[in-house]
Amino acid sequence: MTQRRVILSGSAFEEEIGYARAVVDGDRVYLSGTTGFDYATMTISEDVVEQAEQCLRNVRAALAEAGCSLSDVVRVRYLLPHREDFARCRPVLRRHFGPVRPAATMLVCGLADPRMRFEIEVDARLPAAEGAAGR
């Protein structure tokens, strides 16, 4: 039987809408669209690069709680309302994902709150338990 576990960040959006920051299902981790909100203060920077940095901090925290890290990410989706903002975010993304090289897609679309300028969704795989690789 597959183990399923939900991870909550404390974001007001999770409670209001009824979703989890992440779902761990077996060896897979599915991270919901995550924005640049600082969930402790529910504030968000106006700067898209600062939002991308905060977003990656939020992603790292959720992945860590799930038992993995950015190095375990296999798929990433970037969502931005303004195509021209993506170029400014690329150095941030390269710094965090360059060594990992996950499959990636960038979409231009509207986001839930007009203050949001960057959102990311990731799928990851939990690292294999020690000794399980040879089984």
How far from the centroid of its chain's Cα atoms is residue 6's Cα? 15
Domain ranges for the chain: 4-125
* Structural tokens at position 109: 């679309």
Contact 106, 97 (CB under 8 A): no
pTM of the entire predicted model? 0.89
Which of these CATH numbers, 1.10.287.130, 3.30.1330.40, 3.40.50.2000, 2.60.120.260, describes 4-125? 3.30.1330.40
Distance CA 102, CA 122 (A): 9
Smallest Cα–Cα separation from 23: which of 63, 58, 55, 57? 63
10-34 confidence digits (pLDDT tens): 877 888 999 999 999 999 999 999 9
83-133 confidence digits (pLDDT tens): 999 999 999 999 999 999 999 999 999 999 999 999 999 999 999 855 444
